[in-house]
Amino acid sequence: MRRGYLLGKRDSPYPTRNTKPDRDDRRLFTDEHDAPPTVSAPPYTVKELREWGKGNIRLSDDPSMSAKVNLHDLGLFQRLVFRNIRVGTVQVSVLLDSAVLSLLPTRFSSPPTPLENAIEFRSAGANGMGVFATRDIRPAALIHVEHPTTVTQNTLVLNFGMTRVEVYRELFQRVPEQTLPSLLDLCNSQPDEMAIEEAILRSNAIAIKLPSPAVPGSLAMGHNAIFLRTSRLNHSCSPNAFHRFDPQTFALTVHTICPIAKGEEIVHSYIDLTSATTREARRSLLRDLCHFECTCNRCALSDPAAVLQSDERRQKIHDMTRETVLAPLEAWYRGHGRADLKTVIAFHLAAVEEMRIEGLYHYQYQLHISQLAVCYAAIEDIRSFRLWMGRARDIAVRNLAADEAADMLRFIVYPETFSAWGWARKNTSTVSPPPTETSTTCLVPRMINSKA
């Protein structure tokens, strides 16, 4: 492993090129008559495909993605082109399917403005560089905005006469000269047999969603991008931030999930935490995909009993469904107040605390806090209602659900306008209407009702 590896000028495969074109539509996979000889045609059986794929595709080792790809279709439809896209003052080196390129906006909108001077980039000790809060930051704050330096498809069907390494090298060579040193400096994990470009892509690329053409296999292509600054964010299995890419602005935005104190490291997750529940599963995924041993605060637990407890908590969170989260309040509602609302509140508070300990703010977290807001509205506890409705609003802001957030703000200011206000009083003194779809829906605010 080499950290901070920067190629010396003499060894550099990147010659100084004063005449580098900023736009080049060289087609790699062209018309039949001028196409380079096919290395090997994609075979049909699953077993043969797997073997064939070993030599012909790679970048993402994500097994779920490879499994979904119909290589034959991809081979037929891929029309890859290198191009330098200009986004504002930034030049992005891309290798994309021409159909994807044609779906990108001709003019990109301006991205939103992040909080000023909220973060700094500095040493994170043994994990190299990291990103830190320079002040207390509230949840759902936008803390960083950045355009990519490179973008490429996850799955490349290399039957156009270039090796994978040559493809990546070409992509890097198109990066503007003044940016290249910063890109090469991202090499913090380079196995001996791996080319520097691939090592950088593997340990820094972030999955992004671009518009997909309606051709077979296009959805499975997926894309990834390198961001010089965002790449400095370390991974955590209990992240306090997340990112989102918007093709309209061609920018990545980083948002906080929970309150972050001044001096705290800002971390996001490199993997899907909903499926890998145990520490071993997460570590092994990160080892395979990113070549490092995770030392985040959840993985660094030294007491085996604490690890087991964390694994069990995560499994429990993973097993929660929409139905199991909504059931207790629904039962209280249907029972016309006979069940104890305090027990319902305790159930949700315990669940929210478990999710906070694990740093997992899944979809179910939104449901739990909405249920708490409804419970406190039902018993007319104005302080607690405002607290939980405020948290629900943070999530609406985070999800860019502006209308929902505005409604929630109105409920915070005028709690009695919320449909569940005083349910407990009304429920015990009068006979409630039989629960209809509408009344049940009231138990969950609209935003949270529509699963994103």
Contacts with ligand SAM by CB under 6 A lie at 124, 127-130, 186, 188-189, 203-204, 231-232, 234-236, 290, 292, 294-296
Q: Which of 362, 371, 377, 370 is nearest to 404 (CA)?
A: 370
Closer by beta carbon to ligand SAM, 4 or else 105: 4
CA distances (Å), 51 to each of 43, 54, 120, 184, 222, in order?
Answer: 9, 5, 45, 32, 21
Shortest distance, position 3 Cβ to ligand SAM, whole Å? 7
Closer by beta carbon to ligand SAM, 203 or else 364: 203
Length of the chain equals: 452
Shortest distance, position 60 Cβ to ligand SAM, whole Å? 16
Structure token digits, residue 208 = 């992004």
| DSSP code for 312 | H
- Assess contact for 297 and 357: CB atoms under 8 A: no
- Assess contact for 340 and 384: CB atoms under 8 A: no
* Cα separation, 443 vs 74, whole angstroms: 46
Starting at the earlier edge strand, list the strands of the sheet with 251-256. Answer: 142-146, 251-256, 241-246
Closer by beta carbon to ligand SAM, 186 or else 420: 186
Structure token digits, residue 202 = 């593997």
Closer by beta carbon to ligand SAM, 155 or else 236: 236
Closer by beta carbon to ligand SAM, 158 or else 294: 294
Shortest distance, position 258 Cβ to ligand SAM, whole Å? 18
Query: Which amino acid, 435?
Result: P
Shortest distance, position 333 Cβ to ligand SAM, whole Å? 43
Shortest distance, position 305 Cβ to ligand SAM, whole Å? 22
Burial of 394 (0-12, 13-18, 19+ CB in 10 A): buried
* Cα separation, 263 vs 131, whole angstroms: 10
- Assess contact for 407 and 446: CB atoms under 8 A: yes
Shortest distance, position 360 Cβ to ligand SAM, whole Å? 16
- The residue assigned the tokens 């992509």 is 171
> Nearest residue to ligand SAM, using CB?
128
Query: Which amino acid, 339?
Result: A
Shortest distance, position 4 Cβ to ligand SAM, whole Å? 7
What residues contact 25, with CB distance under 8 A and at least 6 apart? 81, 82, 83
- Assess contact for 87 and 250: CB atoms under 8 A: yes
- Assess contact for 113 and 85: CB atoms under 8 A: no
Q: Which of 66, 102, 61 is nearest to 81 (CA)?
A: 102
Shortest distance, position 128 Cβ to ligand SAM, whole Å? 3
* Cα separation, 4 vs 185, whole angstroms: 5
Closer by beta carbon to ligand SAM, 189 or else 364: 189
Closer by beta carbon to ligand SAM, 80 or else 286: 286
- The residue assigned the tokens 């145990």 is 278
- Assess contact for 233 and 130: CB atoms under 8 A: yes
Shortest distance, position 279 Cβ to ligand SAM, whole Å? 12
Shortest distance, position 123 Cβ to ligand SAM, whole Å? 8
Question: Helices (H) and strands (E) in the chain — how many of each?
Answer: 18, 12
Closer by beta carbon to ligand SAM, 56 or else 236: 236
Closer by beta carbon to ligand SAM, 200 or else 448: 200
Shortest distance, position 12 Cβ to ligand SAM, whole Å? 20
* Cα separation, 259 vs 409, whole angstroms: 19
Closer by beta carbon to ligand SAM, 123 or else 248: 123
Return the ∠ at Cα 364 (arms to 359 and 366), rounded to 5°.
85
Closer by beta carbon to ligand SAM, 278 or else 384: 278
Closer by beta carbon to ligand SAM, 156 or else 200: 200
* Cα separation, 328 vs 345, whole angstroms: 9
Shortest distance, position 151 Cβ to ligand SAM, whole Å? 16
